[in-house]
Amino acid sequence: MKYDKWNFLSGSEAAAEGLEAAAIPPLAARVLAARGYDTPEKAAAFLKTNTSLLYDPFQLKDMDRAAARLEQGIVSGETICVYGDYDVDGITATCLLTAYLMERGARVLPYVPNRLTEGYSLNRTAIDLLAGRGVTLIVTVDCGITNVEETDYARTLGMDVIITDHHECKEQLPRAAAVVNPHRPDCDYPFTSLAGVGVALKLVLAMTPPEQRSRQLRACSDLAAIGTVADVMDLRGENRAIVALGLEQLNTRCRPGLAALIREAGQEHKNLTAGTISFSLAPRINASGRMGCPELAVELLLTRDPLQAELLARQLCALNRDRQEVELAICQQCEEYLERNPAYARDVIVLASPSWHQGVVGIVASRLAEHYQAPTFMICLEGDRGKGSCRSWGNFNLFQALEQCSGLLESFGGHELAAGFTIHKEQIPAFRQKMAGLARTWRENHPSDTALTVDVLLPDTRLLSRENVQTLELLEPHGVGNPAPVFALERVTVVGFTRVGGGRHTRIQLRKSGVTFDAIFFSTTPKDAQLAVGARIDVAFHLQINEFRGVQTVQFQVADCRASRSQAAQSQQLYRLYRSGSPLTGSELARLIPERPDFVAVWRYLTHFAPEGELRESPVRLSQKIARSCGRQEDLGRTMVCLEVFHERGLIELHRSADTLTITIHKTDQKVDLEASEILIRLRRRKAD
């Protein structure tokens, strides 16, 4: 079980039927009703994806100044540099604005810094280089909002700077010719969730005559959609319209570089979705920046030569395979270290090494954060300095946390859920300690942050036809604010399972109501999922159509699974009856009495994760974690009896307060005979009677 609990939305069946009567397909109707779009009018408003959702670009603070200064640069023949970030958002923004300026006949130079040698955003070395090339105007995209000193330095060299960005603002803004950022405190723009490429798109539209904006929007929408999805932006409002239009463009007619990349990624002749961008196109574009050659992706997205596009797409895909190998090696190294040193994964994960590749540690941080359910900070050391990438867990606000640790850092920037920073090596221990305290406080105040939201609990499998599943495309594009719907079935039988993808993923066969379904559980092993053939489980999943040799079938993409609620509830109920002194039958006592493997599993978990100090956890969560650690079915009753026996025999100190257990291990070199436990003797005697 990956989540603390599952939260089921309470959609009205009557509302769903009302939406069906308005010609909305049944599965989509149930999702919309569950999410509060429970009338045909509300549903129609949400499903809207047309350009009426877009706001006037001049509502952005300083947009008039930015457009005027850039127009001046075009007319006067200045050499203009579009200066972007090296991630997908930054690369697509760079190419979007560069392509537009080239169409206008401007003298334009795209520049994306090398992640490995220059780092993030504007830097003096790059500014000197650009000045030497005759650049008199720099337009940043997806970066620059914190570059106060660098902007001042550019001005001393006779260069103006226009900042377009979407990252969090610090107290002082750069003294630039214009600063366009929906997060400016003095900006009243109605939609603050634009990606960096979205802000760049707004600049292009501001410079386009109103009667030509529709054509220009369509021409830019493919790049805007890719950058918006890749940067995990909220896909409601303006972004929903931008991404929907971009997907339409990608599925019909897109630029040569993207067409070649789609073919090389094996996505040609498929219906491209936001998921295609997230898991297929974006990682390949991102690989160029992560591996230190962002110019490869820039050239691919700007080329008009189909043959050149094919060559560049192949190079980019090969680079992505290299990135995957490096990422896997670092991830395995970190997991092995954390298995040996579990205390380092307790509240936060802060790891550092001089041997890691700076370009891929952000992805590794994401994987570790999800696996260990803790905010993760990966620091690449070079001498006495370290460059860090971090990813959140449970909505822990990274930007605010880094602000509170700013006295230990040389610099930082980013979002709530993903950020970067630089730190001196000697400050890392203090940083780890302070960040752990912040994360601990966050967990105490936000106990439900690891809940899975289930949109629809299906009573049976009758709606899971291929035709019904295909109609869920109506709800696209999916992402933050409009996640792919999660469905659930209870008391599903595990028919079989096997490890795939080099052992990293699990393919499962499930049966419910006489119907068998294939399921895939990514980044989860059978042991992690506590699978057993014949077991009854509850499963939460996304629905998708899988095609193999021309045959299409419904497939579950598992979000989480757990022992069937009836089984888990029975175990908890048995333990409650036992604690209250209620009479239990012999078979009920047999289910409650631990056996040797149960004691071994609980003890191994305790000594691994609480070798020193205290372990604090809810009974349910502790039982789930112990079951996952040893690949056994969850059984809260037996787990709690094991803990009581350990407490009785002096191996641990066990305290209960509200719904929390506090466990302290007592170190001893002497053998302890668990069979002498009065608890066990009493339970076995009652069973025999």
Which range has the worst mean pLDDT, 92-101, 497-506, 558-567?
A: 558-567
pLDDT at 12 (0 to 100): 83
Following DSSP, what letter does each residue of 524-584 receive, concatenated? --HHHHT--TT-EEEEEEEEEEEEETTEEEEEEEEEEEEE-HHHHHHHHHHHHHHHHT---
pLDDT at 688 (0 to 100): 81
pLDDT at 151 over 90: yes
Backbone angles phi, psi at 307, to 5 degrees: -70, -45
Distances (CA, A) of 322 to 164, 263, 334, 362: 32, 19, 19, 16
User: Within a domain: residue 307?
Assistant: yes
Residues 291 and 145 in one domain: yes
pLDDT at 686 (0 to 100): 87
Which range has the worst mean pLDDT, 24-28, 258-262, 625-629?
A: 625-629
Judging by DSSP bridges, how do beta strands 418-424 and 409-414 pair with one another? Answer: antiparallel
Residues 283 and 148 in one domain: yes
Give the end of a domain, one of 440, 469, 495: 440
Report which residue type is found at 188.
Answer: D
pLDDT at 95 (0 to 100): 98
User: Within a domain: residue 445?
Assistant: no
Q: Partners of 158 in the beta sheet?
A: none
Following DSSP, what letter does each residue of 298-321 receive, concatenated? HHHHH---HHHHHHHHHHHHHHHH
Residue-wise pLDDT for 499-535, tens only, equals 998 888 999 999 998 999 999 999 888 988 889 899 8
For tokens 């997060």, name the residue. Answer: 183
Which range of 110-119, 177-186, 670-679 scores highest in mean pLDDT? It is 177-186
CATH at residue 627: 1.10.10.10
Residues 543 and 579 in one domain: no
Q: What gap in Å lies between CA 538 and CA 536, rounded to an integer?
A: 7
Residues 20 and 64 in one domain: no
Following DSSP, what letter does each residue of 62-120 receive, concatenated? THHHHHHHHHHHHHTT-EEEEEE-SSHHHHHHHHHHHHHHHHTT-EEEEE---TTTT-S
pLDDT at 459 over 90: no
User: Within a domain: residue 671?
Assistant: yes
- The torsion angle over the Cα atoms of residues 531, 537, 541 and 543, rounded to 10 degrees, is 100
**Mean pLDDT for the stretch of residues 627-646:** 85
Please check whether residue 379 is in contact with residue 387, taking contact to mean a CB–CB distance below 8 angstroms.
yes
Please check whether residue 483 is in contact with residue 501, taking contact to mean a CB–CB distance below 8 angstroms.
no
Give the end of a domain, one of 440, 464, 486: 440
Residues 521 and 418 in one domain: no
Q: What gap in Å lies between CA 533 and CA 490, rounded to an integer?
A: 16
pLDDT at 343 (0 to 100): 81
For tokens 């802060």, name the residue. Answer: 350
Residues 146 and 289 in one domain: yes
CATH at residue 397: 3.10.310.30
**Mean pLDDT for the stretch of residues 129-138:** 97
User: Within a domain: residue 335?
Assistant: no
Please check whether residue 238 is in contact with residue 244, taking contact to mean a CB–CB distance below 8 angstroms.
no
For tokens 């077991």, name the residue. Answer: 535
Residue-wise pLDDT for 156-168, tens only, equals 999 999 999 999 8
Please check whether residue 338 is in contact with residue 349, taking contact to mean a CB–CB distance below 8 angstroms.
yes
CATH at residue 263: 3.90.1640.30
pLDDT at 588 over 70: yes
Residues 577 and 506 in one domain: no
User: Within a domain: residue 336?
Assistant: no
pLDDT at 447 (0 to 100): 60
* Entry pTM: 0.77
Residues 307 and 214 in one domain: yes
Buried/exposed 47-79: b ≥16 CB within 10 Å, e otherwise: bebeeebbeebeebbbbeebbebbeebbeeebb
Secondary structure (H, E, C), 106-147:
CEEEEECCCCCCCCCCCCHHHHHHHHHCCEEEEEEECCCCCC
Judging by DSSP bridges, how do beta strands 160-164 and 135-141 pair with one another? Answer: parallel
pLDDT at 610 over 90: no
Residues 545 and 573 in one domain: no
User: Within a domain: residue 324?
Assistant: no
pLDDT at 569 (0 to 100): 76
Q: What gap in Å lies between CA 511 and CA 535, rounded to an integer?
A: 11
Sign of CA dihedral 465, 469, 470, 471: positive
pLDDT at 612 (0 to 100): 64
Backbone angles phi, psi at 160, to 5 degrees: -90, 155
pLDDT at 434 over 60: yes
pLDDT at 640 (0 to 100): 94
User: Within a domain: residue 332?
Assistant: no
Number of structural domains (the chain) is 4
Enter the DSSP assignment of 234.
B
User: Within a domain: residue 448?
Assistant: no
Question: How high is the mean pLDDT of the chain?
Answer: 92
Range 204-210 contact pairs with CB under 8 angstroms and sequence separation of 24 or more:
204/96, 204/97, 204/100, 205/57, 206/57, 206/58, 206/63, 206/64, 206/66, 206/67, 207/67, 207/70, 207/71, 207/100
Q: What gap in Å lies between CA 501 and CA 503, rounded to an integer?
A: 5
Residues 459 and 549 in one domain: yes
pLDDT at 530 (0 to 100): 84
Residues 365 and 377 in one domain: yes
Q: What gap in Å lies between CA 646 and CA 51, rounded to an integer?
A: 65
pLDDT at 620 (0 to 100): 85
Residues 577 and 629 in one domain: yes
Residue-wise pLDDT for 211-266, tens only, equals 999 999 999 999 999 999 999 899 999 999 999 999 999 999 889 999 999 999 99
pLDDT category at 93 given cuts 50, 70, 90 is very high
pLDDT category at 650 given cuts 50, 70, 90 is very high
pLDDT at 278 (0 to 100): 93
pLDDT at 583 (0 to 100): 84
pLDDT at 89 over 90: yes
Give the end of a domain, one of 260, 286, 318: 318
**Mean pLDDT for the stretch of residues 269-275:** 90
3-class state of residue 482 by DSSP: strand
Q: Tell me which of 610 and 358 has the higher pLDDT.
A: 358
pLDDT category at 96 given cuts 50, 70, 90 is very high
Enter the DSSP assignment of 278.
I
Domain range spanning residue 391? 341-440
